[in-house]
Homo-oligomer: A and B are copies of this chain.
């Protein structure tokens, strides 16, 4: 299994509506991308200081399935239209489990 983990920080001028739209749009992807076996996304819960703002954990059966998710047009559209306009920084790892 490939577990794809991404953390984002948002720009200071990102609005609450823009931030919420990232979660709303990403959560539509499992219905469109069957290679997503599990998909958890959302904002930081505010438990500890100094965190990034948002996380995505995507589980796929294989590297090919992960690449299908990564390159899927609907995913790329969410990145282009909702994430990149408010993106300050990004950190990612793919775990092979």
Contact = CB atoms under 8 A, between A and B. Distances in A.
A91 interface: yes
Given A2-B47, A47-B63, A57-B57, A40 B7 contact: no
Nearest to A3: B40
A55 interface: yes
A94 interface: yes
Interface residues of A, number: 31
Per assembly, the copies of the chain total 2
Nearest to A46: B94
A89 B62 CA distance: 28
B44 A7 contact: no
B2 A5 contact: no
Contacts of A44: 93-95
A51 to B, nearest CB: 5
Contacts of A50: 92
- Between A5, A50, A63, the greatest number of chain B beta carbons within 10 A of the residue's beta carbon is seen for A5
